[in-house]
Amino acid sequence: MSLTSERGAGRSFFVADLHLTDERPAATGRFFRFLQDEVAGADALYILGDLFEAWIGDDHDEQVARETAQRLAALVATGTPVYFMHGNRDFMLAERYAAQSGMTLLADPARIDLYGVPTLLMHGDTLCTDDTAYQDFRRRVRHPVTRALLRRLPRALRSRLARQARAGSEAAKAHKAAAIMDVNEAEVVRVMREHRVCRLIHGHTHRPAQHVHRVDGRECERWVVPDWYARWGYVACDANGCTLRTDAL
């Protein structure tokens, strides 16, 4: 193997909130370069939700969906597993697209052993418990019965529903205080305790940072991965710990 294909060796990468769409080619190009230049040869890539701006079903018809499947499948073929957790934008992504792109679907939350450190992975929306209107909406649309019904609708109708949901979400966000849309600290501590971890990695809030939370007397880490709008970036972990990187797009 050449040196360039081993750049990610010994490291695992975590990304979320790429919101890929044909309408934002700069983010797509940056993601493909990231896969090639940094992730190639890595131990694993974890996509913690909202890989796509919208996903109406595995018949989703965008060039970026086809190209992303090809690029991820190529990465997996070279020995770097890719794990995908649903976000609130792409929760309709299912087995067919996962198989096409070589991705392994992860439940939210997922507890993994990361170089000997038990680590909890989440998209992050379930941590925003102060936003009760959103949590009610989430419970309804993510219900298995709702999802089964959605899958049976014609694609044009699913597209229209997705557009309406996004517009409704943007309108609602405009009237909500920023604090309501961030994670609830007590909920963070509760999930870390419940899953017996002292490290949590999530996305969704678009507030990249490393936080410290005191859980039963221990200082525990919470890593928030960046979105890929005006910037891009990731959290990378190895046997020595994690680092957060963000850069302008």
Task: Give the DSSP H or E segment for 144.
Answer: helix 144-152
Nearer to Mn ion, 40 or 235 (CB): 235
Answer for which of 40, 41, 50, 56 binds Mn ion (CB under 5 A) is: 50
| Using rule CB under 5 A, residue 221 touches Mn ion | no
Between residues 68 and 80, which has the closer beta carbon with respect to Mn ion? 68
Contact call for residue 28 and Mn ion (CB under 5 A): no
Q: Which is nearer to Mn ion, 111 or 173 (CB)?
A: 173
The alpha carbon dihedral of 44, 40, 57, 175 has a sign of positive
Angle formed at CA 100 by CA 97 and CA 102, multiple of 5 degrees:
105
DSSP classification of residue 217: T
- Pick from 12, 68, 80, 88: which binds Mn ion (CB under 5 A)? 88
Smallest distance from Mn ion to CB 3, Å: 36
On whether the CB atoms of residues 97 and 65 are closer than 8 A, the answer is yes
Rounded CA-CA distance 204/90 in Å is 12
Smallest separation, CB 87 to Mn ion (Å): 4
Map residues 90-109 to x or -, x wherever contact with Mn ion holds by CB under 5 A. Answer: --------------------
Q: To the nearest whole angstrom, how small is the minimum distance from the Cβ of residue 4 to Mn ion?
A: 32
At closest approach, how far in Å is the CB of 50 from Mn ion? 4
Closest residue to bound Mn ion by CB? 204
3-state SS, residue 15: strand
The span from the CA of 102 to the CA of 91, in Å, is 17
Q: Please report whether residue 87 would count as binding Mn ion according to CB under 5 A.
A: yes
x/- contact string, 189-218, with Mn ion (CB under 5 A)? ---------------x--------------
Closest CB to Mn ion among residues 88, 126: 88
Q: Strands 117-122, 44-47: parallel, antiparallel or unpaired by DSSP?
A: unpaired
The span from the CA of 200 to the CA of 209, in Å, is 12
Query: In this complex, which beta carbon is closest to Mn ion, that of residue 57 or of residue 87?
Result: 87
Closest by Cα among 56, 118, 121 to 83: 121
Q: What is the CA angle 248-229-86, rounded to 5?
A: 125
> DSSP letter at 105?
E
Q: Which is nearer to Mn ion, 115 or 229 (CB)?
A: 229
Least spacing, CB of residue 111 vs Mn ion, in Å: 20
Q: CB of residue 123 vs Mn ion: minimum separation in angstroms?
A: 6
Closest CA relative to residue 130, chosen from 186, 52, 69: 186
- Residues composing the chain: 249
Q: Using CA atoms, how far apart are residues 184 and 212, in angstroms rounded to an integer?
A: 14
Nearer to Mn ion, 62 or 108 (CB): 108
CB of 182 to Mn ion, least distance (A): 13
Q: Which residues bind Mn ion (CB under 5 A)?
A: 50, 87-88, 204
